[in-house]
Amino acid sequence: MKTPLTPLDLVRRGLKTYPQRTAVTQPGGPSFTYREWGERIYRLARALGEAVPPGSRAAVLSPNTHHGLLTYAGVPWSGRVLVPLNTRLTPPEYAFQLRHARVSLVLADATLAPKVEETCRELGIPLWVLGEGSDFEDRLGEQDPSPLPYAVADEDDTITINYTSGTTSSPKGVMLTHRNTMLNAVETIYNFRFDQDSVYLHTLPDFHANGWGGVWSPFGVGATHVTLPVLRGDTIHDAIHAFGVTHLAAAPTVLSMITDPATARTTPRRVRVATAGSPPHARTIADMDALGFDVLQVYGLTETSPLITVAELSEAERALPTPQRAALTAKQGFEMLLAGEVEVMTPELTPIPHDGQTLGEIMVRGNLVMKGYLDNPEATAKAFEGGWFHTGDVAVVHPDGRIEIRDRNKDVIISGGENISSVEVEGVLYAHPAVREAVVVSRPDERWGEVPCAFIALHAGRAASPEDLDAHVRQQLAGYKAPKHYVFRDELPKTASGKFQKFLLRRELWEGRERAVN
């Protein structure tokens, strides 16, 4: 009687149990009941069945539209693997990911299709354009809308390949399984407290680790999805008021949009907000409270499906004055219900004492940990050394058991919720003819949490300004990856063997702060 665990079963339950309820709606766009949404899933699955072989990979490049959301069910429903693409990348970055994942089909929103059209032509990949009145809608219209069982044979098969900026110059393809994502989606329902009266606003980009599970989990309990293609303070508040939103997830930068006095409004009812990327400031929590939002911090990585800890508070702690409550919310908190074992350990895999001072690395062992990195056995083996997934985040554990990140031992910068590989940026800087040495580290930033800062040593007799280097980087990488600050030095600090001492440069920028992350 065993059936494979898959988040598609949450979608299946929603389609069966709540056929007349609103499943998906979009400001200025259409609304779909669960019955109508199911018909669209079945149509897309059948269209894919005619277009590409079973097990092949289909990429989606879309803002948070109802078309984009449909692919998270329709593609795996057909037995194909979905490859969500970051909407902020450049054509060369898309080309790498499409080649690396061996993508057979690209589904791109009409507003973003020009960014991949040439690459698709060069690689011979068919391109379906998403949008109202598009060829995509024509394809759906040609298909049978009758119910179709989802094609999942093994819960350990890959459901999505999500690219993340790691510590190498090329992003790694994280293979998440049906089992990984189902268990994450269930714990999302539990921790976010979704039910059939919930209205979930898609303010978190769905390509970010599958919207932290939000592309599947609300369907399981009959909740309503509100897709939001344009993310601004006014569009968020408009949607909250128009649709009676009860839940949303967002990076801290979006919380700043929500609390911006120029557009901020009090909510018609309390809205539960999950945030991650950097801890919310006490001022942000106070401002969100005053507007009607309850902020919950969560933590995880794409490789862990993604969420593994939650800064949950007791009733007494929620009643504390904002400064004390914010101090607790700023900690990463406790392992989630289905996260498995989340420990802070020494390199010898010994748990550290719960004294709030001893440093260790957060490691995870459980059902949410990825299958591995696509075609990268060396990186996979390194990440799983000792039978634990190594997050690269350095933390302490407080006497009450709460985990708190203090630093990172990997070369990743998390800026406004986006992962930036410092090694990738360094590689582009080295391609500039004036650059002799380049080291990129994080620098604290009030708005983005942290931003890339480049330390540069130039070749003798060569000159380059910050503006020159910025233009050079932006030709090859997405703008958010470009360093926001440049520091020029005659020499950069190295070990006796010639390895750059990044920790010394980071220490300069983070001096006087208790934590080396923001």
Q: In what order do the strands lie in the sheet with 81-84?
A: 127-130, 103-109, 57-61, 81-84, 158-164, 172-177, 372-373
Distance separating alpha carbons of residues 456 and 473, to the nearest angstrom = 13
Distance separating alpha carbons of residues 118 and 124, to the nearest angstrom = 10
- The DSSP secondary-structure symbol of 303 reads G
pLDDT confidence of residue 96: 95
Handedness of CA 53, 55, 60, 64 (dihedral sign): positive
- CA 461 to mean position of chain CA atoms: 43
- Rounded to an integer, the average pLDDT of 378-405 is 95
pLDDT confidence of residue 518: 77
- Answer yes or no: is pLDDT of 410 > 90: no
Beta bridge partners of 421: 412
The percentage of the chain sitting over the pLDDT mark of 70, rounded to a whole number, equals 98
At 119-172, the pLDDT tens digits run 999 999 999 999 998 899 999 999 999 999 999 999 999 999 999 875 455 789
Instruction: Give me the chain's average pLDDT, please.
Output: 94
At 465-479, the pLDDT tens digits run 999 999 999 999 999
DSSP string, 112-177: TGGGTHHHHHHHT--EEEESTTSHHHHHHHTS--S------S-TTSEEEEEEE--SSSS-EEEEEE
Amino acid at 4: P
Distance separating alpha carbons of residues 380 and 51, to the nearest angstrom = 32
Give the pLDDT band (50/70/90) at residue 281. confident
pLDDT confidence of residue 514: 79
At 43-52, the pLDDT tens digits run 999 999 999 9
Question: Which domains are seen in the chain, by residue range?
Answer: 8-329 (3.40.50.12780), 341-408 (2.30.38.10), 412-510 (3.30.300.30)
Distance separating alpha carbons of residues 171 and 93, to the nearest angstrom = 9
pLDDT confidence of residue 499: 67
Distance separating alpha carbons of residues 419 and 409, to the nearest angstrom = 14
DSSP H/E element including 373: strand 372-373
Which of 160-174, 271-285, 292-306, 498-512 has maximum average pLDDT? 292-306
Distance separating alpha carbons of residues 354 and 331, to the nearest angstrom = 14
pLDDT confidence of residue 25: 98
- Rounded to an integer, the average pLDDT of 248-252 is 91
- Answer yes or no: is pLDDT of 497 > 70: no
The percentage of the chain sitting over the pLDDT mark of 90, rounded to a whole number, equals 81
- Rounded to an integer, the average pLDDT of 182-186 is 98
- Rounded to an integer, the average pLDDT of 414-423 is 86
- Answer yes or no: is pLDDT of 93 > 60: yes
Beta bridge partners of 248: 201, 273
At 227-242, the pLDDT tens digits run 999 999 999 999 999 9
- The DSSP secondary-structure symbol of 483 reads -
At 333-377, the pLDDT tens digits run 999 999 999 999 999 999 999 999 898 999 999 999 999 999 999
pLDDT confidence of residue 498: 63
- Answer yes or no: is pLDDT of 215 > 60: yes
pLDDT confidence of residue 495: 67
Distance separating alpha carbons of residues 12 and 73, to the nearest angstrom = 10
pLDDT confidence of residue 169: 55
pLDDT confidence of residue 295: 94
pLDDT confidence of residue 239: 98
- Rounded to an integer, the average pLDDT of 57-69 is 98
Rg (CA), the chain: 23
